[in-house]
Chain A
Amino acid sequence: MTRLSRIGLFFVGALACVPLVAQDAKKEIQRYQQMIAEGSPVELFELGGEELWKKPQGPNSASLEKCDLGLGPGVLKSAYARLPRYFKDADRVMDLESRLLHCMTTLQGRSREEATRRVFGNENQPSEMEYLSAYVAGQSRGFKLAAGAAHPKEKEAYQLGKALYFHRAGAWDMSCASCHGDEGKRIRMQELPVLYKPQFARPIMATWPAYRVSNSQFKTMQWRINDCYRQMRYPEPTFASDATVALTAFLTVTAAGEPYRGPGTKR
């Protein structure tokens, strides 16, 4: 309800649910999604991210402009499309957010604790990670998703991610596959992509991170995973931990070859 209360207070009327012929409704909702993508304010977040990327911060008063996202210091073009990948300097597989965190601690000299104090923002104050994710991801538009899958640690991350996807635990005995396991299923009206299959993973992974019109917030993949585990009644996955990176690696490798067209705009 929190999501709606903001509008709800103003719009006293309840949001109506409209029964419609399923096929027509689906087509119209696709049209809606296309129209909101065309009229998306997502570029504002890319602008905010560019500012933060270039802003000197931390004890070293350094910007992130020398951050190496895998293609060399400061190279942004197509870098996001190739994440997660193995980084020799950290000796681990990293997704965008964990790599940004690495650069914040190494280049800017910030503590991990300080840099992760507020990783998920809100509509009034998006987080630094959210802005930066928008900016970096935006530089990969048109590039095919090609997460690392050759290094032994990349293969390991993929396998761990896959195992996590099907692992049932938590207070409600759920795995990712409990909801994202069979085709054609919905939670309420929301269709559920079967993300371990390439044809479903592709359009989804090609549009994260994303702006959500329902709450005017820019959301990252780390948030997406975090919020799934919240709803699955698990404890909280630690930000940028190997488990979260492994899941993203599994999903992105599964989506390999899809041209990136984010940051996306979602309902």
Chain B
Amino acid sequence: MAGPMKMRATILGGNTEVRVLITHPMTTVQPLHFIQNVTVKHNGRTVVESEISQAVSRNPVFSFRLKGGAKGDRIEVSWLDNKGESNKIESAVA
């Protein structure tokens, strides 16, 4: 099962800084098990779409920046790995 995620979205200099922590082994040996896609949504609209490899460190931590944003906006980060497992987290901008 997918382990816990943690996210913090805060207003920083007029923009929204999103920091997300993901529990994932990101293995580089057999059997390969790593996240391939990370997606960020702002109030339901996709703003960042990414493809990553097994070269991203175990228990990935990402920071993204969104234009503008206001307290209470909904931010969602989801991931999908090479085994088809996925997880997501949603929280409000603080």
Q: Is there any pair of Cβ atoms, one from A and one from B, under 8 angstroms apart in the complex?
A: yes
Chain A residues in the interface with B (C-beta under 8 A): 6-7, 9-11, 39-41, 43-44, 47-48, 51, 123-124, 213, 216
Instruction: Tell whether A10 pairs with B61 under 8 Å between CB atoms, given A43-B21, A44-B23, A47-B6.
Output: no
Chain B residues positioned under 8 Å from A48 (CB to CB) = 3-4, 23
Alpha-carbon distance A90/B59, docked complex (angstroms): 38
Alpha-carbon distance A9/B31, docked complex (angstroms): 12
Taking residues whose C-beta sits less than 8 angstroms from the other chain, chain B's interface range is 10 to 19
B68 CB → nearest A CB, Å = 24
In the A-B complex, the 7 residue pairs with the smallest Cβ-Cβ separation, listed nearest first, are A10-B28, A41-B59, A216-B58, A47-B4, A39-B61, A9-B29, A41-B21
Residue pair B59, A7 in contact (C-beta under 8 Å): no
Residue pair B61, A6 in contact (C-beta under 8 Å): no
Residue pair A124, B25 in contact (C-beta under 8 Å): yes
A221 CB → nearest B CB, Å = 21
Instruction: Tell whether A41 pairs with B29 under 8 Å between CB atoms, given A10-B54, A47-B4, A48-B4.
Output: no
What is the predominant secondary structure among interface residues of chain B facing chain A?
loop
Chain B residues in the interface with A (C-beta under 8 A): 3-6, 21-23, 25, 27-29, 54, 57-61, 63
Within the complex, which residue of B4, B5, B28, B61 is in contact with A40, where a contact is CB–CB below 8 Å? B61
Instruction: Tell whether A11 pairs with B28 under 8 Å between CB atoms, given A40-B61, A41-B59, A216-B59.
Output: yes
Within the complex, which residue of B28, B54, B61, B63 is in contact with A41, where a contact is CB–CB below 8 Å? B61
Residue pair A10, B6 in contact (C-beta under 8 Å): no
Alpha-carbon distance A10/B28, docked complex (angstroms): 6
Chain B residues positioned under 8 Å from A39 (CB to CB) = 61, 63
Instruction: Tell whether A6 pairs with B28 under 8 Å between CB atoms, given A41-B21, A41-B59, A43-B21.
Output: yes
Chain A residues positioned under 8 Å from B60 (CB to CB) = 41
B79 CB → nearest A CB, Å = 14
Instruction: Tell whether A123 pairs with B21 under 8 Å between CB atoms, given A39-B61, A47-B6.
Output: no
Alpha-carbon distance A39/B20, docked complex (angstroms): 10
A75 CB → nearest B CB, Å = 24
Chain A residues positioned under 8 Å from B63 (CB to CB) = 39
Within the complex, which residue of A6, A11, A44 is in contact with B59, where a contact is CB–CB below 8 Å? A44
Q: Look across to chain B and name the residue whose beta carbon is closest to the beta carbon of A6.
A: B29
Chain A residues positioned under 8 Å from B4 (CB to CB) = 44, 47-48, 51
Which of A44, A48, A123, A216 has the most C-beta atoms of chain B within 10 angstroms of its own C-beta?
A: A44
Chain B residues positioned under 8 Å from A7 (CB to CB) = 28
Q: Look across to chain B and name the residue whose beta carbon is closest to the beta carbon of A10.
A: B28
Which of B54, B60, B61 has the most C-beta atoms of chain A within 10 angstroms of its own C-beta?
A: B61
Chain B residues positioned under 8 Å from A51 (CB to CB) = 4
Which of A7, A9, A10 has the most C-beta atoms of chain B within 10 angstroms of its own C-beta?
A: A10
Residue pair A44, B6 in contact (C-beta under 8 Å): yes
Chain B residues positioned under 8 Å from A6 (CB to CB) = 27-29
